[in-house]
Amino acid sequence: MRNPPAKNDAMDPSVRALEMLTALGFGPDTLLMNDPKLFVDGRFLASLLVELEDELGERDAALALFQIGLLHGLRDAARMCGDREEAIGDGRLGAPDTTALVLRWSLEPSVDREDALAVRGQWPEHHEAQARCARLGVASSPACWMSAGYTSGWLSGSLGRNLLVREVECAATGAASCCFEALEAEDWATRGDATMEWLVDHVPFTAFRAIAVRPAGARSAHDPIGGGARDGGFDRSQAVVHIWGPVMVLPFTTLDEALGTVEMLGRDPGISEIRTVVVDLREQPLDEGFGAAALEQVLETIESWDAQSLITGIAPSAEAAMASLESSHLVLRKDLSEAIATAFQIADAQRHRI
């Protein structure tokens, strides 16, 4: 996880929000922002919650989680309403899978304005609350920020209003249910709720709505985020190392580049913080002789950092070379998304053993 940018109060809130997510490796076009794994894999989410709080502190971690959920929710609503400009079969990326967050909700009479919307509901599966309690213990206040962000995005996109969700009961605090209420952003300002007023100031609905309806991987000419691998995306044509706290993704483009990269990284004093390294073979050919030997050397170097290696992106032509490796504790995963999730789980398990 890369360090977030320095705060600049003069910066447009929408640009600041998007840049923060980008710096954390959750830019709009990144793998982690286009995969619903956070909403279905409790161990992965639990590990991320720990990393975000360590990196950002409790308040900014909550904001980051809300914004991550918000973009997922807006995308799912856009897909449901037919607003998302998906292009299947024309060379652009297809749609990510729909997020699996179960909602129960109902419209309620609003006391703020005659035409205002008010919604009450709950998340019956307690997914985020359970993940938080598993690694961070009981919370002192409602803590399902990603679920609140997702629900805000889904309701806003579905109902055509800017609705913000506040969790009012949370299983992470010992309550029986995770319950929420949603009001339009302008109505929260009349409630005297300092937390929601702060959230209103940091939720860039216009910018996030524009991203939500774009095809995955497409960019607007007015997008405040830079392109390509610089924004934390996984452009496999670029040899870029990505780091989120204790997890590193190492692209294996050519043998010389891979060996040179691990040698350079090994001289960095901060390498001791890395617990797991995903070696992305990127479906490159790998022969049983020099190729396998070079990969084994990379794995041995990673082991010397006291880190666990995972390998993904194995091409069918490289399977024989993989079988020739002497290492008996290789962890293999079919795709990069699954490998990253496993890496977070391993890193979290190692943290608690220590």
- Using H for helix, E for strand and C for coil, what is the string for 236-290? CCCCCCEEECCEEEEECCCHHHHHHHHHHHHCCHHHHHCCEEEEECCCCCCCCCH
Same domain, 280 and 148: no
Q: Residue 330 and residue 311: Cα distance in Å, rounded?
A: 8
Whether residue 224 has pLDDT greater than 90: no
Terminal-to-terminal C-alpha distance of the chain: 21
Same domain, 324 and 285: yes
Residue 319 belongs to some domain of the structure: yes
Whether residue 74 has pLDDT greater than 80: yes
Q: Which region among 36-45, 107-116, 198-207, 337-346 has the lowest average model confidence (pLDDT)?
A: 107-116
Q: Which region among 101-105, 142-146, 210-214, 217-221 has the lowest average model confidence (pLDDT)?
A: 217-221
103 closest CA partner among 72, 59, 81, 131: 72
Question: Is the whole model's pTM more than 0.85, yes or no?
Answer: no
Q: Residue 212 and residue 69: Cα distance in Å, rounded?
A: 12
Same domain, 59 and 162: yes
Per-residue pLDDT, 3 = 47
Residue 234 belongs to some domain of the structure: no
Whether residue 10 has pLDDT greater than 60: no
Residue 4 belongs to some domain of the structure: no
Tokens representing residue 80 in the block: 């449901």
Q: What is the mean pLDDT of residues 158-168?
A: 92
Per-residue pLDDT, 127 = 93
**Strand bridging mode 276-280 / 308-312:** parallel
Which residues share a beta bridge with 251? Answer: 280
Whether residue 223 has pLDDT greater than 80: no
- Please report which confidence band the pLDDT of residue 261 belongs to, taking 50, 70 and 90 as the band edges: confident
Same domain, 274 and 332: yes
Same domain, 42 and 75: yes
212 closest CA partner among 2, 68, 16: 68
Q: How many separate domains does the chain show?
A: 2
Q: Could you tell me the residue range of the domain that residue 252 belongs to? A: 242-353
Per-residue pLDDT, 225 = 35
